[in-house]
Amino acid sequence: MAHHNGPRKKTRYKFKKALRKRGIAPATTVIQKFDVGQRVHLVIDPSVHTGMPHRRFHGKTGTVVGQRGRAWLVEIRDGNATKTVITRSQHLKPQKI
């Protein structure tokens, strides 16, 4: 058996969409804007491959630090380290206050 180490390994259940959420995501997820300092949730949309962050950050909450082209820079605590994740807006949801 072949051993695979792709970026989506061990994501069979983690990246699974709900039954009624399958297919193409609405266009509003692409055009959403965020302010610097705004808190966002990283919820990876498996149907959008571009700008997809690493699977370890799925479900994490971070702070928007800036924008790089069409992508957003999000600062996340990973253990004791602070990491900057570059991701597209399709994988981000604004945090409700």
Strand 92-94 relative to strand 81-88, pairing: unpaired
Supply the pTM of this predicted model: 0.90
Cβ(11)–Cβ(26) below 8 Å = no
pLDDT at 70: 96
34-94 sits in which CATH class?
mainly beta
Residues 8-29, mean pLDDT to the nearest whole number: 93
Q: What is the DSSP string of 39-62?
A: EEEE---TT--TTPPPGGGTT-EE
- pLDDT digits 0-9 by tens, 23-38: 988 999 999 999 999 9
Q: What are the residue ranges spanned by the domains of the chain? A: 34-94
- pLDDT digits 0-9 by tens, 21-74: 999 889 999 999 999 999 999 999 999 999 999 999 999 999 999 999 999 999
Asked if residue 3 has pLDDT above 90, the reply is no
